[in-house]
């Protein structure tokens, strides 16, 4: 049953986190904090683990969990708590917006377990909620920041009202909710992971991030709707979650290959967000497929856990990369909520939308299409809303390819990997050969690299079972290639396989095919074969041989294929 699975994973994660907690050093900078073996620091939000630890206390009656929770609370008060009632995201950081997530965790801790705690500890939590709630009431900057903050503050203030009982918290919650609802489109899409929320790109695209929508915004909307009894908001949550299922892959991953904040995409979700399972299960009465989605996502996190910690990507261990603790203590919170609910769920086997053969579905607000046919599903994007320079790919390229047998085949992340948010992204070891994981066309002219992933104005013509793309190769500065930079691609989809016809004079098609060091892969001059997948072309080169490249986002290794692009016909076949 699902509850037993959740308890097992929660216990695994929490035991590891507790083992990394500093004790009795006599230094307030350390005691109670959770050491991150990858980053070599204590992350400022590590006290998010208070609620999971108290949930473990409730199911085991072991006093070590309440002690661990109280030590975490004290560490936060000594190191990231501010006189104005807010919390710093990290020591040395000036961002205070993550206070909303900390307050939600503290409120859950107090509402669910306060009466069982030592009175002194319970009183400290209550007083800290009161101080933070006071500050959040006037934190209007969150109404103008990424949408997940406004939505989450609406929830945080509502929970402050449940704890403290003062009406002004409920009114503050309604104000933030009213602002947030402007970002909820009628079709269920939530915009606003980008500032300003309603600013359109040149293509007419809105700022959308699937990872943050799935793991932060929609869960906050769902929880607020269920706690407040707001039926209208609940229907919006159901609609948004149903929309999100369009982007869930068959193994439970979230396809955020084109999102505005895909630099934090970790395949199973988003690096510093909380997770979707509490919301999926909370809405399951309205759509039983949400149970299946929750279980597959949980199973994926089990598979992505190594030595008790949730890895930043599925192949981090294969690449020899340590796991950052951040993913574990944030995702433990919704897992704890599922366990605390006491509910169990029988497995559902309906099938997810992307397992079904429905042809081509396009999302106009994203300039992105998903094609799902027998044996595979593929995402093709020309999305151009810029959260940061050289962020997600564009150009009408394949950003995600998933085969029902081989699993993920192509998964693009950032165009060029770099640390955008210090302590919220992982710095890989020097031994890694880092490269973009996108299917793309490239050409070098006069020492400058021009690529299709930098093209934001590509034309996409959608037909029956086919997509035609035309564009210009661009530099990272979006300068057009001066030497015959035109390219065209014709995608043709069929049951069991699809073909890609590429024309780009003097250029090459680059296909990074996901494969760990342990995967059995056959690299031939006219084909590549891997676990139910055959990619064929007239001429294939392997610039690194079978040496794996690595992309920290979304965390895969791959073997790189290069194919001359003058008139290349490439076939992807799935057994």
- Residue 415 — very low, low, confident or very high, per pLDDT cuts 50/70/90? confident
Residue 429 confidence (pLDDT): 75
Residue 546 confidence (pLDDT): 92
Across 533-543, average pLDDT:
97
pLDDT digit string, tens, across residues 56-90: 999 999 999 999 999 999 999 999 999 999 999 99
Across 270-287, average pLDDT:
96
Residue 389 confidence (pLDDT): 86
Residue 1 confidence (pLDDT): 80
Residue 391 confidence (pLDDT): 87
Residue 92 confidence (pLDDT): 87
Q: Do 394 and 384 meet the contact criterion of CB atoms below 8 Å apart?
A: yes
Element (DSSP H or E) covering residue 536: strand 533-536
Residue 361 confidence (pLDDT): 98
Has residue 414 got a pLDDT over 90? no
Question: Which residues fall within 8 angstroms of residue 73, CB to CB, at 6 or more apart?
Answer: 32, 47, 50, 121, 124, 125, 128
Token digits of residue 143:
């109404």
356-376 CB burial, b ≥16 within 10 A, e <16: eeeebeebebbbbbbbbbebb
Question: Which residues fall within 8 angstroms of residue 165, CB to CB, at 6 or more apart?
Answer: none
Residue 154 confidence (pLDDT): 98
When comparing pLDDT for 423 and 336, which is higher? 336
pLDDT digit string, tens, across residues 452-489: 999 999 999 999 999 999 999 999 999 999 989 999 99
- Residue 426 — very low, low, confident or very high, per pLDDT cuts 50/70/90? confident
188-209 CB burial, b ≥16 within 10 A, e <16: bbbbbbbeebeeebebebbbbb
How far apart, in whole angstroms, are the C-alpha atoms of residue 243 and residue 210? 10
pLDDT digit string, tens, across residues 84-138: 999 999 998 999 999 999 999 999 999 999 999 999 999 999 999 999 999 999 9
- Percent above pLDDT 90 for the chain: 93
Q: Which domains does the chain have, with CATH numbers?
A: 2-353 (1.50.10.20), 356-574 (2.70.98.70)
Count of residues for the chain? 575
How far apart, in whole angstroms, are the C-alpha atoms of residue 159 and residue 561? 52
Q: How would you classify the pairing of strands 549-551 and 533-536?
A: unpaired
How far apart, in whole angstroms, are the C-alpha atoms of residue 189 and residue 169? 28
Token digits of residue 229:
């009894």
Has residue 434 got a pLDDT over 90? no
> In this structure, how many other beta carbons lie within 10 angstroms of the beta carbon of residue 75?
24
Q: Any idea what the Cα angle at residue 436 is, between residues 389 and 545, rounded to 5°?
A: 160
CA distances in angstroms from 557 to 189, 321, 322, 517, listed in the order given: 31, 12, 15, 8
518-541 CB burial, b ≥16 within 10 A, e <16: ebebebeeeebbbeebebbbeebe
Residue 76 confidence (pLDDT): 98
> In this structure, how many other beta carbons lie within 10 angstroms of the beta carbon of residue 423?
21
Across 371-382, average pLDDT:
98
Residue 311 confidence (pLDDT): 96
DSSP letter assigned to residue 486: E
- Percent above pLDDT 70 for the chain: 100
User: Is residue 368 helix, strand or coil?
Assistant: strand
**Torsion angles phi and psi, residue 185, rounded to 5:** -75, 155
Q: What is the mean pLDDT of the chain?
A: 96
Q: Do 10 and 332 meet the contact criterion of CB atoms below 8 Å apart?
A: yes
pLDDT digit string, tens, across residues 191-218: 999 999 999 999 999 999 999 999 999 9
DSSP letter assigned to residue 544: T
Across 513-521, average pLDDT:
93
Residue 129 confidence (pLDDT): 98
Beta bridge partners of 411: 400
For residue 58, which of 93, 109, 134 has the smallest C-alpha distance? Answer: 109
274-302 CB burial, b ≥16 within 10 A, e <16: bbbbbbbbbbbeebebbbbbbbbbbebbe
The residue ranges of DSSP E strands in 355-481, in sequence order, are: 359-363, 368-373, 376-381, 397-403, 407-411, 440-445, 448-451, 459-463, 466-472
Radius of gyration of the chain (CA): 24
Across 278-293, average pLDDT:
97
User: Is residue 509 helix, strand or coil?
Assistant: strand
pLDDT digit string, tens, across residues 131-157: 999 999 999 999 999 999 999 999 999
Residue 149 confidence (pLDDT): 98
Residue 432 confidence (pLDDT): 80
First-to-final CA distance of the chain: 32
Question: Which residues fall within 8 angstroms of residue 246, CB to CB, at 6 or more apart?
Answer: 353, 354, 361, 363, 370
Residue 485 confidence (pLDDT): 95
Instruction: Please report how many Cα atoms fall inside a 13 Å half-sphere around the Cα of residue 291, on the Cβ side.
Output: 16
């Amino acid at each position: 049953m699902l509850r037993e699975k959740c308890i097992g994973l929660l216990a695994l994660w929490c035991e590891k986190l507790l083992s990394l907690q500093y004790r009795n050093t006599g230094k307030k900078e350390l005691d109670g904090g959770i050491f991150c073996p990858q980053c070599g620091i204590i992350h400022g939000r590590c006290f998010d683990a208070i609620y999971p630890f108290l949930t473990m206390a409730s199911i085991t009656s072991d006093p070590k969990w309440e002690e661990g929770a109280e030590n975490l609370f004290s560490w936060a008060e000594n190191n990231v708590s501010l006189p104005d009632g807010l919390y710093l995201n990290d020591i040395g950081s000036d961002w205070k917006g993550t206070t909303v997530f900390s307050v939600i965790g503290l409120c859950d801790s107090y509402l669910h377990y306060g009466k069982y705690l030592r009175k002194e500890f319970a009183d400290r939590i209550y007083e800290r909620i009161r101080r933070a709630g006071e500050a959040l009431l006037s934190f209007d900057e969150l109404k103008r920041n990424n949408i997940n903050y406004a939505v989450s503050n609406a929830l945080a203030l509502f929970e402050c009202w449940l704890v403290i009982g003062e009406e002004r918290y409920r009114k503050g919650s309604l104000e933030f909710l009213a602002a947030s609802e402007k970002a909820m489109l009628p079709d269920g899409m939530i915009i606003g992971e980008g500032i300003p929320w309603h600013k359109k790109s040149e293509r007419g695209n809105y700022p959308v991030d699937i990872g943050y929508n799935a793991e932060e915004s929609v869960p906050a909307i769902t929880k607020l709707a269920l706690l407040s009894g707001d039926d209208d908001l609940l229907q919006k949550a159901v609609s948004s979650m149903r929309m999100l299922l369009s982007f869930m892959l068959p193994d439970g991953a979230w396809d955020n290959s084109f999102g505005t904040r895909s630099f934090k995409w970790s395949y199973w979700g988003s690096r510093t967000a909380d997770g979707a399972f509490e919301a999926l299960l909370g809405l399951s009465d309205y759509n039983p497929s949400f149970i299946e989605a929750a279980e597959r996502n949980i199973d994926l996190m089990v598979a992505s856990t190594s030595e008790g910690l949730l890895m930043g990507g599925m192949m981090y261990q294969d690449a020899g990369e340590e796991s950052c603790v951040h993913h574990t203590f944030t995702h433990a919170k919704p897992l704890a909520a599922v366990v605390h609910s006491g509910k169990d769920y029988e497995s559902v086997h309906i099938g997810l939308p992307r397992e079904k053969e429905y042809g081509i579905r396009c999302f106009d607000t994203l300039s992105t299409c998903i094609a799902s046919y027998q044996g595979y599903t593929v995402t093709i994007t020309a999305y151009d809303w810029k959260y940061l320079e050289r962020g997600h790919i564009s150009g009408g390229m394949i950003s995600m390819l998933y085969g029902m047998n081989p699993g993920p085949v192509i998964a693009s992340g950032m165009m060029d990997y770099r640390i955008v948010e210090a302590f919220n992204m992982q710095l890989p070891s020097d031994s890694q050969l880092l490269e973009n994981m996108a299917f793309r066309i490239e050409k070098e002219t006069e020492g400058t690299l021009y690529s299709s992933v930098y093209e934001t104005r590509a034309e996409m013509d959608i037909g029956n079972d086919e997509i035609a793309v035309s564009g210009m190769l661009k530099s990272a500065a979006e300068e057009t290639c001066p030497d015959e930079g035109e390219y065209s691609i014709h995608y043709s989809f069929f049951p069991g396989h699809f073909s890609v016809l590429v024309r780009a004079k003097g250029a090459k098609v680059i296909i990074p095919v996901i494969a760990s060091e342990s995967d059995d892969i056959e690299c031939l001059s006219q084909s590549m074969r891997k676990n139910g997948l055959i990619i064929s072309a007239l001429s294939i080169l392997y610039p690194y041989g079978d040496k794996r490249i690595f992309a920290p986002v979304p965390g895969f290794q791959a073997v790189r294929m290069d194919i001359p692009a003058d008139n290349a016909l490439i076939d992807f076949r799935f057994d």
